[in-house]
Chain A
Amino acid sequence: MEGRQLRPIYDALELPDTKYAEEECEKLLRKHPNHYGAQSIKAFILARSGRPNEALLLGQSVLNTPSAMASAHVQQGLSLAFRALGRPREEIMVYTAALSFSPNDESLHIKVFKTAARNSMFKEQHHAAIQLSKLSKQQKYVWWLVVSLFLQAKHSKDDVAAPVQLKLAERLVEKAVADGQLTSTEELRVYLDVLDIQDKHEQMTEVMADNSQLAAMISNDPDLVTQRINLFIKVGDYDKAIMAATAALESRDNWADYKLYIEAVATLVGQAVDAEAKHSLVAGISSNFEKWAGVRGKARGAKLAQVALATRMHEAGHGDIAGSPEALIWDYLTEFQQKAICYSDIMQFIVARREPSVLEYHQAQLEQRLPAARDSATNSDDAAQAWVNLEKIRYLLQALMGETDPKAWVADIEPLLKFGLGSSQARKKQPSCSDMAFIASQRIIQAAFLAYSAADQREQLHSALFKALCVLESGIQLNDNSFLLKLYAIRVYLYLSCYERAQTIYDTLRIKHVQLDTLGHLIIGHGMALGCFALDMELCYNGVTFYDRFQSKMPRDIEAVYQQGTYSNVQDFLEFQSNIVHSIQRECTHRYALRGEGFEYGNAKETLARWEEADVSSIEHSEQTLSALHDNRDVSVMGLLTPKDMAQWDLELLTQSTPIPGHDFIRAFSLVPQVMHYLVCADIESLQEKLSELTLVVDNSSCRLSRQDVLFVRGIIDVGSLYIQASDPQNEIDGQLSRLLSVIRTNLPSNELDPSLFSLSSDGIRNLSAATELFTYMLALKHALLAQRLPAANAVGLALSQLRKEALKSVNTLRGWVDKNTRALVEEQWLAENDDDIFADAKRFVVGSQKQTTSMVTKACTTSWLRSVKNLLSQWEKCSS
């Protein structure tokens, strides 16, 4: 009967037609107001339709009716509703209530277990696993229990209970081993985890011993082989560690094993009492490395291990006992410089010793080799790659030696440019040529920031960056697959306020899914700052869709781990889930999406409804929620040629046009919608509270917001204050209003003076964009005042109307100026004959050999600026006050 009544609702949900399903629910509830099945499904529909508060209220009222929980329809509808609402505790309460009617229902216990498992509710998970293992003899439930006990103990703060839980887990596994029920490496990994967390390393070595029952499993699993070596080190049995590492390295070439081998030997050398013993230990390992260096396929690993060993010995104060690290570095380079990975391999060892004498040694070695490498680069791919690697080392040494003379960075750039962009190899898309073009671009960018770091030199900085852009684009034209060139081209275009071309290049990188979290920061938000908010919104929505899908699907992947018995994934999956769900980029993407919606034009009714209905409670942040956020943004992909700890040479950092959004951004742009919500809802008390919080954020001296974001946020504070002022008819608002209008006017293009190319490419478009956004919010203020019949509404309306007229005129003038003049100005100013001589070689090359690309870059810049200004003009046209 109940199923038949609910059928039309289920059918509508399957279509899926949520609206129709809701109507069917209402119909049924009109006839049968206490139909709990219909109420439960309605709660689910409400949760899915973005009405969480109503859904929660309804769901909880059904949950508080114990008799209702006997129905399978209620269980299903209600559990889905709570899942959609992200309320696992309530979801478990549904199953628990259902279990009171059928306590031995295995499927219900499994549901409790899985709900707890995917929400890291380890205690509940543990209890469900106990119930399941009592109910059924299936071995998998024992493993579920073991994993639950392990997780609960690991995350517990209870120093008394945790050891007991781990002991119990250990006993369960021991029984499984005795019964022959430990059958997979996954179960073995769980066993090892349980012992490891209790520091029972001796016992672990027994489990992993060559003659143990489980030895065969270990030898087939590369990770466990390495873990075993590490374990011997942990228990201080360095001889066994050396034996295990040697055995492993005889049959494979694994860097982790080399590292452990070196660590074990280094510890024994440290413990040895006499020099002979030390030398004997080092001789043993060195002889093995030499032997393996002669084996085909193992040479690179063994040779690099020699470098690592010598470096480690030096660090431990044993001098050149394993050879001179510097000499070994150059031996390594001689042998493997034709491999592209060579620089990345060796960089860490060069960086490890930065004493001047060591750097001078490297410099001397480099100078001996570089000319020959340059001269022979055209002979073969290998020779070209060797030169590239040496050029990368030259770059690194300059940074390590603290070179701050910009001329030194671009002194010999011409051969790099010619080879990277003008050679026959470059036309054949040889990867080493793209690498060389990349190095050349990095040199120009580095020199530009060293030469023109002062605020009053930014005009010249832009001119120099434009040349770097021409180099990057020339490289991209030759080899479309070089993502490093593209990443820096995006950065530099944005630095010069050119959004459109940056976005086109970003599109060619096909960044999607999880990459939106790690690489989305490259572009998301920049469109809004440069007037292209519609394009930016699309990217934001892609991001939001990714996060929503992730949140709804990831729990199933955690369940699957238990289902498949691949328990070693559990902790990794939970960590991954937490990193994405609590990701800084996720928060930023959501804030940008909301910001873009605020920017969208709507009439008075739509605007007020948008702010009134905004669910502002879900975007509140505290110190605690902010500190729980993870920064997954992948900046390592930018291929830095210098170590990360050298800020002055960190081009990833230097090429950021605005600070990468962080806690201040999230906090500020979570508060802006809240301010607008309380303003529209005329909730003065909450509004005042939020304005104070916003003021604190923006007044903080270390606040990391862009200049325009600060301008906008301060404007919003004024909007809120103006509203409060206007709410009392006794108050004057003229002063406050004229201050706000003045902020906007100041950031509009001037009618009287011609803008300069520099003002356009630096703050011109950004300021105009911030002013336009602020005007949009002032319109919302006016609509709120009008709707609430406040006398100030007309004054604000009149002022905005006047301001809009002025803005339309000045933005239109700017549009005409950009259209008519910028192309010629780029050629006159950024490619001028009398330009700064630091970049003369680079300029001569891009103007001479790369004329077509340079012209394309000029066009890309002017088109991008024009697009931004046109978009902003269109916004002013639409925003009728």
Chain B
Amino acid sequence: MSTIRRFRAMDLLHFNNVNLDRYTETYDSQFYLSYMSNWPDLFTVAESPAQKLMGYSMGKVEGTDELWHGHVTALTVAPECRRLGLARGLMRGLEDASEKIHDCYFVDLFVRPSNTVAIQMYEHLGYILYRRVIDYYQGDGVMPTEYAHDMRKALPRDKHKKSIVPVKHAVNVEDTFF
């Protein structure tokens, strides 16, 4: 249980209990602001009854024709707020918006292969490993350089599930641009 609401710029001043987690990247402020400007309905935060941020999901829509899709840019939950189904709730919200507001064919996301807990959750939510992306994550002294798992879930608009036919070979980062 939490208050689910749109993410606000002022939340950037209070999201440290979420973002100090090692798997959570902190981006330039302008990155978050551009998501708020462009896709406000895909940037959602969960706030606890004690008014602490519990987690957030940040997404966008991109691509053309049958590649028109929702993309999960970030999904993160504060360590003490895990095992509550919060990530699933946030993902469901983002999928709903991708389907009902933006009429997308599928939703995709990237995840570190070492983040096995997250991968299990995505699989449970119906995501499949679509392809692997070579050295998508660059090491920064704390986290290592890693491939990314590009995972996808088809939405009802993709009737023939064409978007989730896996690519067998690993691809380069530039092959993932839409």
Q: Which residues of A contact B5 (CB under 8 A)?
A: 222-223, 226, 256
Known: A223-B5, A256-B5, A301-B1. A508 touches B37 (CB 8 A): no
Residue of B37, B52, B140 touching A557 (CB-CB under 8 A) = B37
Cα(A576)–Cα(B30), bound, Å: 12
Known: A341-B84, A515-B19, A550-B29. A253 touches B50 (CB 8 A): no
Give the interface segment out of B75-83, B129-137, B152-160.
B75-83
Q: Which residues of B contact A575 (CB under 8 A)?
A: 9-10
Total interface residues in chain A, CB < 8 Å:
67
Give the interface segment out of B20-28, B66-74, B166-174.
B20-28
Decide if A344 touches B50 in the complex (CB within 8 Å). Answer: yes
The 4 tightest CB contacts between A and B, nearest first, are A301-B1, A576-B9, A483-B20, A256-B3
**Any A CB within 8 A of the CB of B8:** yes
Give the interface segment out of A17-25, A629-637, A736-744, A855-863.
A629-637
Give the interface segment out of A135-143, A559-567, A683-691, A779-787.
A559-567
**Any B CB within 8 A of the CB of A572:** yes
**Any B CB within 8 A of the CB of A345:** yes
Residue of A348, A554, A560 touching B50 (CB-CB under 8 A) = A348
Cα(A185)–Cα(B97), bound, Å: 14
Q: Which residues of B contact A568 (CB under 8 A)?
A: 6, 40
Closest CB in chain A relative to B14 CB, distance in Å? 6
Cα(A560)–Cα(B48), bound, Å: 30
Taken residue by residue from 28 to 50, chain B's Cβ proximity to chain A (1 for < 8 Å, 0 otherwise) reads as: 11100110111011000001111
Closest CB in chain B relative to A338 CB, distance in Å? 9
Our count of residue pairs bridging A and B at CB distance below 8 angstroms stands at 149
Residue of A185, A252, A508, A579 touching B13 (CB-CB under 8 A) = A579
Decide if B38 touches A557 in the complex (CB within 8 Å). Answer: no
Q: Which residues of A contact B6 (CB under 8 A)?
A: 222-223, 568
**Any B CB within 8 A of the CB of A569:** yes
**Any A CB within 8 A of the CB of B2:** yes
Q: Add 19 more A-B contacts to A431-B79, A554-B30, A557-B34 (CB < 8 A).
A: A255-B49, A304-B49, A344-B52, A509-B20, A510-B142, A515-B16, A518-B14, A550-B29, A560-B38, A563-B37, A568-B40, A569-B36, A569-B37, A573-B36, A575-B9, A576-B10, A637-B16, A637-B17, A639-B17
Total interface residues in chain B, CB < 8 Å:
48
In the complex, chain B residues 69-121 whose Cβ is within 8 Å of any chain A Cβ? 79-85, 100-101
Q: Which residues of A contact B80 (CB under 8 A)?
A: 340-341, 344
Q: Which residues of B contact A509 (CB under 8 A)?
A: 20
Decide if A341 touches B40 in the complex (CB within 8 Å). Answer: no
- Interface residues, chain B, with chain A CB atoms under 8 Å away: 1-6, 8-10, 12-14, 16-17, 19-22, 26-30, 33-34, 36-38, 40-41, 47-50, 52, 54, 79-85, 100-101, 140-142
**Any B CB within 8 A of the CB of A326:** no
Tell me which of A186, A300, A515 has the highest count of chain B C-beta atoms within 10 A of its own C-beta: A515
Decide if A634 touches B1 in the complex (CB within 8 Å). Answer: no
Decide if B50 touches A518 in the complex (CB within 8 Å). Answer: no
Known: A254-B3, A340-B81. A186 touches B29 (CB 8 A): no
Closest CB in chain B relative to A35 CB, distance in Å? 36
In the complex, chain A residues 295-317 whose Cβ is within 8 Å of any chain B Cβ? 297-298, 300-302, 304, 308
Residue of B3, B37, B100, B141 touching A220 (CB-CB under 8 A) = B100
